[in-house]
């Protein structure tokens, strides 16, 4: 092949075009750098040359163009015969959007192939998207049934811990020894089921853990799975219910199907009350989604004869609202109470949570357990963590007892806020108020010991506080102790009235608590002198502070209840006034000491409180 060029093009290209070099019009100014071949009628080959887009526009404006074809990637056009009749094409990164209008204005016929091409492309893309959607729907329709199966939302969302790898053992659960003993049978059945079957015994089909929030119900369930070494399916009650009808029931079916395949195993449903509420209380006619989910759960639990080795454990703090069909024997045969721990239980819980914490030599967990009456397991875990954080904040190498004291106050009263600056009068009022609480509380029965007085603001609205620590766990409240608590609550307001001759708004929370206590004494505890042992209110929640509902009563009874409540408040307030007036000089000196030190505690406080005397008239 020769390398010579003819007419500015390689000779090889000329031979491929089957055109003699002499036939090329090299002097035509419309011929650009490159050449193309296009087939024509009669198998003749016509030459089409490239021009600049600007030159094309000039030819259009000069009316030299006979016909135009607008394609996706270029524009092809033919000149009029009087201008040579040659064919050209032009390429530009950006064609003018008003080119069709320009051609119409110049009366130049044109064909726009872009519209048809984009229409075909769009149709192909739409068909591809529809095909993909059909494949996706078919895939999920095979995995589940109904609407839930079509979209994949009918599948169970349970978290699965294989072979009991929950990371929790019974040794990690403290303060609920009776509950652990009850659940040992479940673990033993999963490990040694043949022993029970030989003797004819049947393991409970379901175990319902009930108790206040934070007492360790979920932790116990994980410990059962960890001890038994079986798969553990964990799911919250709220995860069953969705917007779409039938999804909850579909998830219940899928959950139990998965469990059957991996039996023996444990299914744990937390917050069972989310789907287990009593039926018939719906605001809508017919069954709603929650009722359908509950019905499916009842059906699955009744089918446990065919689910050998599948144990259902559920937890709730609202057992009173569960459907009776759910609680009956044959479904949840056993209810296990997981209550707040006693003193020994609290000490055991503190020891568990302090395993990985470096403790100082002065730390006394028994003393901390004494000061934390009413704390749940979660509260105690938070207490240990708060103490560790405070020690780290002070750059200590270990947690000291002082950190535990501060953590207890932070959990009870809130974060200390020394930046909240009070005026001298406000500060003085708060000091008298808190000393009044302490003096009355020191003399009232009930077993609570005043351990600290502070006028350092804490929490959201506490400008000061008086800390009383029960010396022992109490499960009953005697009548005189209840009246003593009301008097203690009103001691702060009584001190303000004695010293200033007027009261402030600082006692609002005390008054609300005292009134509520006096009302419960009359309407729930039957301590009203004239009404006697009649319950006029019923508790709405057993383990939660859900308030109470007063049954239908006459106007005369309602008036008598109000009179007895006011009578109880007046008597307790009179007692507080008498105690503080009798100890007025000690009240003044103690308040001045508190204003100087901001905090009174320990031996200094106990020496002062030992001087408080009860007046003879009380």
Q: What pLDDT shows up at residue 605?
A: 94
pLDDT of residue 237: 85
Q: Residue 39: pLDDT above 80? A: no
Which of 90-104, 123-137, 202-216, 583-597 comes out lowest in average pLDDT? 123-137
Q: What is the pTM of this model?
A: 0.69
Q: Is 493 exposed, middle or buried, given 0-12, 13-18 or 19+ CB atoms closer than 10 A?
A: buried
Q: What is the 3-state secondary structure (H, E, C) of 451-504?
A: EEEECCCECCCECCEEEEEECCCCCCCCHHHHHHHHHHHHHHHHHHHHHHCCCC
User: In the structure, how many helices (H) and strands (E) does the chain have?
Assistant: 21, 19
Token couple for 558: 């309602």
The per-residue pLDDT for range 535-562, each reduced to its tens digit, is 888 877 777 776 678 888 899 999 999 9
The predicted pLDDT at position 244 comes to 63
Beta strands in 366-458 (DSSP E): 448-454
Q: Across residues 69-74, what is the average pLDDT?
A: 81
| Predicted pLDDT of residue 144 | 41
309: left (phi over 0), alpha (psi -120 to 50) or beta: left
Question: Is pLDDT above 50 for 142?
Answer: no
Cβ(345)–Cβ(368) below 8 Å: no
ω before 264 within 30° of 0 (cis)?
A: yes
Nearest to 64 by CA among 47, 81, 49: 81
Catalytic residue among 434, 496, 497, 519: 434
Average pLDDT over residues 497-526: 93
Which of these, 310, 315, 307, 303, lies nearest to 271 by C-alpha position?
Answer: 315
What is the b/e burial string over 129-168, where b = at least 16 CB atoms within 10 angstroms of the residue's CB? eeeeeeeeeeebeeebebebbbbebbbbebeebeebebeb
Q: Are strands 310-316 and 265-270 parallel, antiparallel or unpaired?
A: parallel
The pLDDT value recorded for residue 587 is 96
pLDDT band at 498 (very low <50, low <70, confident <90, very high): very high
pLDDT above 90 coverage of the chain, percent? 33
Tell me if 5-112 shares its fold with 424-609.
no
pLDDT at 134 over 80: no
Q: Is 471 a catalytic residue?
A: no
Furthest-apart CA atoms within the chain: distance in Å? 140
3-state secondary structure 508-530: HHHHHHHHHHHHHHHHCCCCCCC
Using pLDDT thresholds of 50, 70 and 90, give the confidence band for residue 266. Answer: confident
Tell whether the model's pLDDT for residue 21 goes beyond 50.
no
pLDDT of residue 548: 74
Helical pair 177-191 and 217-228, crossing angle rounded to 10 deg:
30
Both structure tokens of 76: 């092809």
Per-domain residue ranges for the chain?
A: 5-112, 117-151, 159-337, 343-413, 424-609
Direct distance between the N- and C-terminal alpha carbons of the chain, in angstroms, rounded to an integer: 130
What per-residue confidence (pLDDT) applies to 192? 81
Cβ atoms 176, 215 nearer than 8 A? yes
Q: Is 203 helix (H, G, I), strand (E, B) or coil?
A: coil
* Neighbour-count burial for 518-546, b at 16+ CB within 10 Å, e otherwise: bbbbbbeeebbeebeeeebbeeeeebeee
pLDDT score, position 482: 93
Whole-number percent of the chain with pLDDT over 70: 80
| R_g over Cα of the chain | 43
Average pLDDT over residues 254-259: 86
* d(C-alpha 280, C-alpha 48), whole Å: 84
Report the range of poorest mean pLDDT among 135-144, 167-176, 241-250, 368-377: 135-144
Distance CA 276, CA 290 (A): 8
Q: Is the pLDDT of residue 274 over 80?
A: yes
**Is residue 525 scored above 50 in pLDDT?**
yes
Q: Which residues contact 336 (CB under 8 A, 6 or more apart)?
A: 179, 182, 183, 207, 208, 209, 210
Supply the pLDDT for residue 455: 92
**Per the CATH hierarchy, to which homologous superfamily does domain 159-337 belong?**
P-loop containing nucleotide triphosphate hydrolases (3.40.50.300)
- Taking the C-alpha atoms of residue 395 and residue 72, their distance in angstroms, rounded to an integer, is 72
Between 425 and 106, residue with greater pLDDT? 425
Give residue 141's pLDDT band: very low, low, confident or very high (50, 70, 90): very low
Contact 387, 403 (CB under 8 A): yes
Strands 65-70 and 110-112: parallel
Q: How high is the pLDDT of residue 398? A: 94
User: Which one is predicted more confidently, 233 or 2?
Assistant: 233
Q: Domain spanning 343-413 has what CATH number?
A: 1.10.8.60
pLDDT at 541: 74
**Topology (CATH level 3) of domain 5-112:** 3.30.720
Return the pLDDT at 37. 36
CATH class, range 424-609: mainly alpha
Residue of 154 and 472 predicted with greater confidence: 472
pLDDT averaged over every residue in the chain: 81
pLDDT of residue 122: 58
What is the distance between the alpha carbons of residues 492 and 464, in angstroms, rounded to a whole number?
11
Q: What is the mean pLDDT of residues 250-275?
A: 86
Asked if pLDDT for residue 564 goes beyond 90, the answer is yes
Q: Is the pLDDT of residue 18 over 50?
A: no
Dump pLDDT digits (tens) for 414-427.
888 877 888 999 99
Model confidence band, residue 400 (pLDDT cutoffs 50, 70, 90): very high
Cβ proximity of 60 and 108 under 8 Å: yes
Instruction: With cut-offs at 50, 70 and 90, classify the pLDDT of residue 38.
Output: very low
Residue 30 has pLDDT above 60, yes or no: no
Residue 302: count other Cβ atoms within 10 Å of its Cβ.
12
At 458-475, the pLDDT tens digits run 877 788 889 888 877 888
Taking residues 101-110, report their average pLDDT.
Answer: 84
Q: Residue 462 has which token pair?
A: 């506490």
pLDDT at 435: 96
Judged by DSSP in three states, 407 sits in: helix
């Amino acid at each position: 092949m020769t390398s010579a060029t003819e007419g500015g093009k390689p000779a090889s290209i000329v031979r491929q075009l089957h055109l003699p070099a002499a036939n090329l019009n090299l002097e035509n100014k419309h011929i650009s750098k490159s050449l193309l071949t296009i087939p024509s009628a009669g198998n003749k080959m016509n030459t089409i040359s490239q021009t600049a887009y600007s030159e094309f526009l000039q030819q259009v404006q000069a009316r030299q163009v006979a016909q135009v074809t607008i394609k996706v990637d270029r524009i092809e056009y033919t000149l009029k015969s009087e201008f040579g009749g040659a064919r050209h094409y032009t390429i530009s990164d950006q064609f003018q959007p008003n080119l069709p209008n320009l051609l119409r204005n110049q009366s130049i016929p044109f064909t726009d192939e872009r519209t048809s091409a984009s229409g075909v492309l769009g149709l192909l893309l739409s068909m591809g998207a529809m095909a993909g959607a059909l494949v996706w729907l078919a895939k999920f329709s095979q995995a589940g049934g109904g609407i839930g199966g079509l979209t994949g939302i009918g599948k169970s969302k349970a978290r699965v811990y294989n072979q009991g790898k929950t990371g929790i053992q019974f040794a990690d659960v403290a303060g609920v020894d009776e509950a652990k003993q009850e659940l040992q049978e479940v673990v033993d059945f999963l490990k040694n089921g043949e022993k029970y079957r030989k003797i004819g015994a049947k393991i409970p089909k379901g175990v319902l853990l009930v108790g206040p929030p934070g007492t360790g119900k979920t932790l116990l369930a994980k410990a059962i799975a960890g001890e038994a070494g079986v798969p553990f399916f964990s799911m919250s009650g709220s995860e069953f219910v969705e917007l779409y009808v039938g999804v909850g029931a579909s998830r219940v079916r899928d959950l139990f199907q998965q469990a059957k395949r991996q039996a023996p195993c444990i299914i744990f449903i937390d917050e069972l009350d989310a789907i287990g509420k009593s039926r018939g209380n719906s605001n809508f006619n017919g069954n709603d989604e929650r009722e359908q989910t509950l019905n499916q759960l009842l059906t699955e639990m009744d089918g446990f004869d065919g689910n050998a080795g599948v144990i259902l454990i559920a937890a709730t703090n609202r057992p009173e609202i569960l459907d009776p069909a759910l609680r009956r024997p044959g479904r949840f045969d056993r209810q296990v109470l997981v209550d707040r721990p006693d003193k020994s239980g609290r000490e055991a819980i503190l020891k568990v949570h302090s395993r990985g914490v470096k403790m100082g030599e002065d730390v006394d967990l028994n003393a901390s357990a004494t000061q934390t009456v009413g704390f749940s397991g979660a509260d105690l875990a938070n207490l240990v963590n708060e103490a560790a954080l405070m020690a780290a904040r002070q750059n200590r190498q270990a947690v000291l007892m002082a950190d535990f004291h501060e953590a207890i106050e932070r959990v009870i009263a809130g974060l200390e806020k020394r930046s909240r600056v009070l005026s001298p009068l406000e500060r003085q009022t708060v000091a008298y108020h808190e000393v009044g609480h302490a003096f009355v509380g020191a003399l009232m029965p009930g077993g609570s010991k005043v351990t600290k007085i502070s006028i350092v603001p804490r929490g959201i609205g506490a400008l000061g506080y008086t800390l009383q620590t029960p010396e022992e766990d109490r499960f009953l409240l005697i009548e005189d102790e209840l009246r003593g608590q009301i008097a203690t609550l009103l001691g702060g307001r009584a001190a303000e009235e004695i010293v200033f001759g007027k009261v402030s708004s600082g006692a609002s929370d005390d008054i609300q608590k005292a009134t509520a206590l006096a009302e419960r004494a009359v309407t729930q505890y039957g301590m009203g002198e004239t009404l006697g042992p009649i319950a006029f209110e019923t508790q709405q929640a057993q383990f939660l502070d859900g308030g109470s509902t007063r049954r239908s009563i006459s106007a005369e009874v309602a008036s008598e209840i109000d009179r007895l409540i006011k009578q109880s408040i007046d008597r307790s307030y009179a007692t507080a006034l008498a105690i503080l007036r009798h100890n007025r000089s000690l009240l003044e000196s103690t308040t001045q000491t508190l204003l100087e030190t901001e905090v009174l505690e320990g031996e200094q406080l106990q020496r002062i409180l030992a001087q408080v005397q009860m007046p003879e008239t009380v």
